[in-house]
Each structure stands twice: as structure tokens, then as C-alpha cells.
Homo-oligomer: A and B are copies of this chain.
Amino acid sequence: MNHHVATCRAELVAVLTTLQSGTPEILTVQNGACLPAGALETEHSSLQRGVRHWVEELTGFRLGHVEQLYTFGDSVPAETERLVRISYMALTRDSGDQAGWRGWYQYFPWEDRRTEGSVALLKTIERALLEWAAHEEEKLDRCRVTFGLNGESWNDEAVLERYELLWEAGLVQESPYCSAGLGERPMLWDHRRILATAMSRLRAKIRYTPVVFELVPEEFTLLQLQQAMEALSGRLMHKQNFRRLVQNQDLVSETDRYESGVQGRPARLYRFRTDNSENCYLTGAKLPLGTFS
């Protein structure tokens, strides 16, 4: 058998996330149907620069910190030229005046467990999954672990695993076997998979590096910081313990200013301690996110 080196095009895909009034949002194009993407060009001196170029071209947005996610490269039988899709994650504090921002949880409503409504959705999913798994022991086990059913705990980082399980079960709209879906917004191609990968990665990352601080204002109250963590992880946490941990970590420093114009006792404003920030990214910051049922 002869072997032929494949010539390919490399496509660069970006998941740019921001926090807008308590919801994580991503920058999309084509009315929310896909992520900004474009081909690697000879003019791009590196992959990262290619990503920056395309996001700026398509949305006018200049990226800050960028991180590689995953490279997909399955061959499509019909096509002659090979496509390698390299995905990136980026964060930004201010969403600017761009259009095209969409909430994470429009695409993954079951990932937001902060509201009462989420319980109902999870019940629906549970019923549908159990019906799909029928009485196959192995499938049932996967459902239990992945969705935290039956006393198993919910792992907020398993976004991709949950999406893939729902795909297999024909419960998401991209699935070829899907009839109705779960009221979520779908995406073209595998872009929702890529978004899931980005969510997983970010949820993992906020636990042990101080990346949250790239998403909140320069000065913030501890409640705002907590709510940012909650929005990203999709779960509520204990207020007093959160304060304690953040303060013990020496990650923030007090200012002498307070929040104004709200109900109740005004909250003190804090800022991220930039003097040891460089270090934290390496040595770890351990923001708390405990476990729950």
C-alpha cells in the first residue's frame, strides 16, 4: 500500500469568554450559530497570531491572553483536502460594543445549577437518559456518574462528557438521532463540542489559578468575585467560607473604598494583588469550589 503525505488546511477557532451581568458569554458569529474561525494563512507567523487576526477581522475584537484547547483532525470521507481544526480559549474583561455575545447556558442550560429551574431540567434529562440506558448496567453507570444522579456528586468540569453522553442518547440537537432536544441553542459542525471543551477547561482553571480576576473589574466586592466564580462553575457557594478562603490566600488587598448605591451595608472594594500574581499562576491559587450533591 502506498502512503501519501496529506496536505491540509489548518482552521483556527476561538472561544472568547466574558462575564456580563453575572452570566458567562461567548463571542459568536452568524447569529450565534458558530464560533469565530478562519484558515491559517501564510502571513500568520504563529498559530496564536492567526487566531488574533481572525477574531479581530470577524468581530473587531483584540484578544488578550490566549490558551490552546484541542486539535481536531478527523478526516471527512468526501473531501480530498484534509482539515485540521485547532481551537483556542481567550478571556476578556469588557465585551466592548460588539454584537454577537451569547450566554453559555443558552447552549448548555443543564450546566447552570444556580437556579431552581435547573432542578426541573435535570429531572427531565434524568428520565430521558434512564429510558435510553434501558437496563444496560454500563450505560446506567455512565449516566449516574456523569450527571451526578443517585447520590453521585456533580462534577462541574465534566461539561464535555455530559454533552457527549447526551449526544449518544440522541438528546441534543446535533445528534443524528435527535427528535426534540432540550430547549438548548445548537451550533453548526462541532462548535458546541469546542465550547464544551472551553467551559471544562475554564472551570478547571479557576480552581487553581487566579484567572477569575481577568473577568471581574479592577476593583470588586468579595460578593462580586464569588458570583463570578458561581457563574463560571454553575453552582452556588457558601458566602462566609468563600470570604475566608479568598482572604487567607493573600490574593486580594483591601482598598479604602466601598460600593455605593445598593441595598444593605455597603461592601468593601478589593483589588487583585498584582505583586505576586505572576507567582500565583505557577504556584497555584486554590480558589474554593467544594463539592455538592
Contacts and interface: CB of A to CB of B under 8 A. Distances in A.
B68 A86 contact: no
Interface residues of A, number: 42
A42 B4 contact: yes
Contact of A8 (B9, B161, B279, B282): B9
A215 interface: no
A155 B10 contact: no
B4 A283 contact: no
A92 to B, nearest CB: 23
Interface in A140-171: 141-142, 145-146, 152-153, 155, 158, 161
A114 interface: no
Contact of A40 (B5, B40, B42, B283): B5
A44 B41 CA distance: 24
Interface stretch (A69-77, A101-109, A123-131, A232-240): A69-77
B84 A6 contact: no
Given A5-B9, A42-B75, 10 more contacts: A5-B42, A6-B9, A6-B40, A6-B42, A8-B8, A44-B75, A45-B75, A71-B86, A146-B282, A155-B283
